[in-house]
Structure 1
């Protein structure tokens, strides 16, 4: 069986050939301004603009936990805005360690079930496009998730379906 490929680098700049689908986790309150989304916005304005419009019109669309929006940003590059986070951490709370409960909080925003649902949408779109999937360690930054819980979801939803997945650890 295939595995996830781990590399040090920038998930917004996959160096493989073919169609690339960049997946990341968004919150369910319309917030866009910290974490991986900043790298996306520096490269392309469309994912943020489309996400904010999707949130604004949420009474008339599928915006919510588990929903995934696909935005084409280049001829062979798509971005998946995956709603896998309930709210955001309160201002000033920090993590004791990455992937652990934030200090002073009773929980974290990550919603594993929603990430799982969103990854199923990503798998379907990747198959439709013949795309490889690229991502940071989704749900494990500002969402406060634990990679040991996210990685099996990626394995089951993507890798076991034959989708090539690369996870990027940002290098300094």
Structure 2
């Protein structure tokens, strides 16, 4: 079984050949604007537009914790919006990360990666503003993606 590759760099511009999927965690309230998603939206506005439309029409679709949507932004580049956090961090209500939702969304990501024969690229999802810990997320990534033979690169931003 392969391992997760860790690199310093920018996950919004994955350095690999072939089809690539950039994965990141979104909240379940339709809000975007802080953390990794800011950098992603500056480079690729399509995933944010798709996320907002998905949320707006949530009464008629699968939007919610554990869901995933995939947006093609170039012929060999896709972005995966993974719904893995409940709300946003405010006050003392605890962290918004939901590990079980990330796990379900990673399962959907794995299916799409296999279907596309794609590698997966991500920051340490769920560990920034969502308040999660990589020691809890990494085993989910390993179990859902690496165990299926999917090449995964995790980017630690230099900034």
Q: With structure 2 as the length reference, what TM-score do the two structures score?
A: 0.98
Shift of 1:15: 1.2
1:110 aligns with 2:97: yes
Q: Which residue of 2 aligns with 1:125?
A: 112
Q: 1:30-84: per-residue Cα shift (whole Å, max 9, x none)?
A: 0010011111111111000000000000000000000000000011000000000
Q: Which contiguous aligned blocks of 4+ residues in structure 1 show a shift greater than 6 angstroms? A: none
Q: Which residue of 2 aligns with 1:76?
A: 76
Equivalent runs, 1:82-93 vs 2, <5 Å: 82-90=82-90
Q: 1:72-99: per-residue Cα shift (whole Å, max 9, x none)?
A: 0011000000000000011xx5xxxxxx
Q: Which residue of 2 aligns with 1:18?
A: 18
For 2:89 and 2:141, locate their aligned partners in 1 and report how far apart those are by CA, in whole Å.
24
For 1:70 and 1:16, locate their aligned partners in 2 and report how far apart those are by CA, in whole Å.
19
Q: 1:116-167: per-residue Cα shift (whole Å, max 9, x none)?
A: 0000000000000000000000000000001000000000000010000000
Larger Rg: 1
Shift of 1:106: 4.2
Q: With structure 1 as the length reference, what TM-score do the two structures score?
A: 0.91
Query: 5+ residue gaps in structure 2?
Result: none
Equivalent runs, 1:13-162 vs 2, <5 Å: 13-90=13-90, 105-162=92-149
RMSD after superposition:
0.7
SS at match of 1:81: strand
Q: Which residue of 2 aligns with 1:97?
A: none
For 1:110 and 1:82, locate their aligned partners in 2 and report how far apart those are by CA, in whole Å.
12
Q: Which residue of 2 aligns with 1:102?
A: none
For 1:171 and 1:69, locate their aligned partners in 2 and report how far apart those are by CA, in whole Å.
28
